[in-house]
Amino acid sequence: MASTEPAAGNPPPRPARSDRSAWNLLLAVPVVVPLLTFLFNHDGPRLAGLPAFYWMQFAFIPLGVTCTAVVYRMTRKRG
């Protein structure tokens, strides 16, 4: 997942501005969680007839939206 890391290579000597923020770590959640197949590769519990495999992955969508939206809000330039 090297590409998700913020500029680790050559930091500017005196950054006028930065896109680094501890909040960015939250973005790892929607990247990693959908890859953990053992979490959701089950038939039960079913939700309205949908096996867990399907409804849980649907549930990751709002999870991703929430994480991205929170990071967006918290790292937004003010003013």
Partner 1 sequence: MGFVAARWRRPGSMDSLDEWGLGGRGFGGWVTWFLIGGDLYTAYTFVAVPALVFGAGAAGFYAVPYTIIVYPLVFLVLIRLWSVSHVHGFVTPADFVRARFGSPTLALAVAVTGIVATMPYIALQLVGIEAVLKTMGVHGHWPIVIAFVILAAYTYQSGLRAPALIAFVKDVLIYLVIIVAVLYIPTRLGGWGDVFSAAEAKFAKTPAPGDGILLDGTNQLNYAMLALGSALALFLYPHSVTGVLASKNRDVIRRNMSALPAYSLVLGLIALLGFMAIAAGIAPVVTGGKADTNTVVPLLFDAMFPDWFAGVAFAAIGIGALVPAAIMSIAAANLFTRNIYKEYIRRDATARQEAAVSKVVSLVVKVGAVACILLLDPEFSIDLQLIGGVVILQTLPAVALGLVTRWFHRGALLAGWAAGLVAGLWMLYEIPNAAKRKEHFGGSAFKLSDLGLDTATTVYAGVLALAVNLAVAAAATLALRTAGIADGADATRPDDYLADEGDPKTGRMELTGST
Given the rule CB under 8 A, which residues bind partner 1? Answer: 2-12, 15-19, 24, 27-28, 30-31, 34-38, 41-43, 46, 48-51, 53-54, 57-58, 60-61, 63-65, 67-69, 71-72, 76-77
CB of 21 to partner 1, least distance (A): 10
Task: Name the residue nearer to partner 1 (CB basis): 22 or 48.
Answer: 48
Per DSSP, the residues of the chain read -GGGS---S---SS-SS----GGGGGGHHHHHGGG-HHHH----S-BTTB-HHHHHHHHHHHHHHHHHHHHHHHHPPP-
